[in-house]
Structure 1
């Protein structure tokens, strides 16, 4: 069981919407410079992960490997996305309080 599964039994309960919706709701409430800073951190992390994957799979086959991973276990991918939306929403909230 995923650590956030209990929150998603009824996605319109407890957190008043899906993690994706809540993230975008929170995003609209945060100062623009803090949003840009947090987004830059996300992009930096994506670039680092992409570079690691290119080293492992090679640049030519990377897109195909990613497509295969998405197709192989879409349910797990959706759960991981929900977790990331919650984590990134929390980061925005903490950034606002800094």
Structure 2
């Protein structure tokens, strides 16, 4: 099934990231979601057969910001996801477990 374009949740996420100084395309957000790195939002019913709207999950903005900062250079998405769990996105210092 082809993607028809960004929904309300993608537009909201893009705006929230822009407010944090991070520019991310809707295609990249969609790619991160399809890969499983970014949580899909929930659906909320509008009631009485009117339809539903998508909502952002609680940590979506934080995860998307970390992904965007770690993916500044072109890297495989697998490496980017591992990086955000082992290295702070703003520095090159690796996390060392005790």
TM-score (norm 2): 0.24
Structure number with higher relative contact order (C-alpha < 8 Å, ≥ 6 residues apart): 1
More helix by share: 1
More strand by share: 2
TM-score (norm 1): 0.24
Is the radius of gyration larger for structure 1 or structure 2? 1
